[in-house]
Amino acid sequence: QVQLVESGGGLAQAGDSLRLSCAASGGTVRGYTMGWFRRAPGKEREFVAAMRRSASYTYYADSLKGRFTISRDNAKNTVYLQMNSLKPEDTAVYYCAAGAGGVSEIYYYQSRRYDSWGQGTQVTVSS
């Protein structure tokens, strides 16, 4: 099972940008549907973005389209989440996830379709 480690979180002000990284080991990111989820204080975990194994298809939560971008560096075996124009409501713990099965490519927005999770990285955006 692939192991995932997120990094890049921290404190930001509204309007700033942050790039989160998700480094994989024990497997290649090309072999998985890779997703980003987040959990804000007092809220359920929610889908942020996903990328299919082929990397030809990327998906975003409707509310985040245009601000967040998921990408992959196969040489570094790392997936990224570029977050621009940050808002206080983006404050959350961000999790990287890997889905091995074909269902994760279809139901990429459902956290239960993913098999491996990172420990999360905190992003705090102040106004």
User: Rounded to whole angstroms, how far apart are CA atoms 34 and 49?
Assistant: 8
Per-residue buried b or exposed e for 9-47, using 16+ beta carbons within 10 Å of the residue's own CB: beebeeeeebebbbbbeebebeebbbbbbbeeeeeeeeb
Residue type, 45: R
Q: Give the per-residue pLDDT at 103.
A: 87
Query: What is the average per-residue pLDDT within 51-75?
Result: 94
pLDDT value at position 85?
98
CA dist., res. 30 & res. 46, Å (int)? 23
Question: pLDDT, tens digit, for every residue of 100-123?
Answer: 988 888 899 999 999 999 999 999
pLDDT(24) > 90 = yes
